[in-house]
Amino acid sequence: MLATNQTGIAPENNSPLNHLDEWEKDILNRYPDPSEIATNKATEAFRNYEEPTRDTVKEFYRLNHQYQSYDYVLEKKANYLQFNKKEMPIWNAFDFLNELVDDSDPDTSLDQMQHLLQTSEAIRKDGHPDWMVLIGLIHDMGKVLCLFGEPQWAAVGDTFPVGCAFSDKIVYPEFFANNPDINHPIYSTKYGVYSPNCGLKNVHLSWGHDEYVYHMMKDYLPEEGLYMLRYHSFYSQHRENAYDHLMDAHDHEMFKWVNLFNPYDLYSKNPDQKSWEELKPYYQALVAKYLPATLKF
């Protein structure tokens, strides 16, 4: 019999992705950069998309959709939202995050930090408020969950509500057939444990880096930014509008900010990115303006 972790889930092949970013590359495949569609670059990228990567992403979603149940999410929240694992300055957390990079692959070295800086620098270049630049820098910091031993499917991936019916607008909806909630008398209904337009503040989303970093930052940043952190992987809503029946008017207002943020997350690749050394003074001052000297994880 396979050994199980504290959630009682067998660790089978918990890490189907060769690298965490394979999930994000797959999102780009689903939602290509509109400016590149015009120049045909996106279709080229699609053609070059390697079959093995697609298989790892598919396996990743099979596990994600099987295990992200209502009870699982509540259990993870009860554990991680105590923030009693570690306390460190944000800069140590970035170093920690860079450990996610597979040393055996030279192309991915410092990928995590590069992605964060490309996102934040693109936001800064467009003249958005400084707190939004900070959101760009920290939005994926919750991926440290992987370093606390969480499987890939519990740290990254598109997020979706649990405790109510899964939308067929979620990527690979067929894999929900193996989710324990699929035939639950309440969780399988349209509204489940929720009520019509109850507002997302009352809705539990699948567990991952978005929810975790939102709770970490909720006392320090404006609400618009907190929505960007909390819902940036909620593609079935911010791209597909599959959960309008749970959103309230305030969510719709705030999702304008989520939609503003998304292209910076997906499309801000910049080959001429300034080095961290050059950018450091600006970001140190920005972090000091909004965040405490150490953060609890």
Residues making contact with Fe ion (CB under 5 A): 140, 265
Min CB(190)–Fe ion separation in Å: 28
Element holding 61 (H helix, E strand): helix 51-67
| Minimum CB distance to Fe ion smaller for 211 or for 265 | 265
- CA dist 163 and 66 (Å) reads 14
Distance CA 198, CA 252 (A): 12
Smallest distance from the beta carbon of 188 to Fe ion, in angstroms? 28
- Coil, strand or helix: which one is 213? helix
Q: Smallest gap, in angstroms, from Cβ of residue 119 to Fe ion?
A: 6
CB of 209 to Fe ion, least distance (A): 6
Q: How far apart are CA 294 and CA 284, in angstroms?
A: 13
Residue with tokens 């894999």: 175
SS3 235: helix
Output 26 or 140, the one with its CB closest to Fe ion.
Answer: 140
Lookup: tokens for 21: 């970013």
Comparing CB distances to Fe ion, the nearer of 22 and 265 is 265
Tokens 């936001």 belong to 123
Contact 209, 288 (CB under 8 A): no
Rank residues 140 and 211 by Cβ distance to Fe ion and give the closer one.
Answer: 140
Q: Strand, coil or helix: what is 248?
A: coil
In the complex, what is the shortest distance from the CB of residue 105 to Fe ion, in angstroms, rounded to a whole number?
19
- CB of 135 or CB of 291, closer to Fe ion: 135
